[in-house]
């Protein structure tokens, strides 16, 4: 005969493990990164979407996953609104940067060359 109290305790324990393990998933995914909107999202939005950054500077948050060769940079203005975001994935050689390259070189701006060697 099955003890209902014991079965209930086992089910509750199992559900607890699922809840805890589900909450441990890494939020730093490309889908979550794409949810961050330049000139709209703020620090609270980024924190909820990507989680806590690994490094916090005055106007920039840096996320790093060494095991995945992944770096993400989020820059903010004085009001804490996202002004730029970068996704650098060395494994897939994907580099997404919301800051466009300068078009007019007559104003002394420089162009950044990005080369990924395989």
pLDDT tens per residue across span 15-50: 444 444 445 689 999 999 999 999 999 999 999 999
Nearest to 27 by CA among 7, 4, 50, 45: 50
Percent of the chain whose predicted confidence (pLDDT) is above 70: 64
Domain boundaries, the chain: 26-100
The pLDDT confidence band at residue 99, using thresholds 50, 70 and 90, is confident
Nearest to 96 by CA among 117, 68, 76, 70: 70
- The pLDDT value recorded for residue 3 is 63
The pLDDT confidence band at residue 109, using thresholds 50, 70 and 90, is very low
In this structure, the dihedral spanned by the alpha carbons of residues 50, 54, 55 and 58, taken in order and rounded to 10 degrees, is 30
CB 42 within 8 A of CB 75: no
């Amino acid at each position: 005969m099955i003890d209902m109290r014991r079965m209930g305790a086992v089910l509750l324990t199992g559900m607890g493990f699922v809840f805890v393990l589900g909450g441990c998933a890494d939020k730093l995914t490309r889908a979550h990164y794409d949810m961050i909107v330049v000139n709209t999202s703020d620090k609270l939005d980024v924190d909820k979407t990507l989680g806590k950054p690994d490094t916090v500077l005055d106007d920039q948050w840096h996320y790093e996953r060494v095991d995945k060769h992944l770096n993400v940079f989020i820059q903010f203005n004085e009001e804490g609104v996202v002004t730029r975001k970068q996704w650098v994935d060395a494994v897939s050689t994907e580099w997404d940067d919301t800051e466009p390259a300068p078009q007019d070189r007559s104003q002394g701006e420089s162009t950044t060359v990005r080369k990924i060697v395989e």
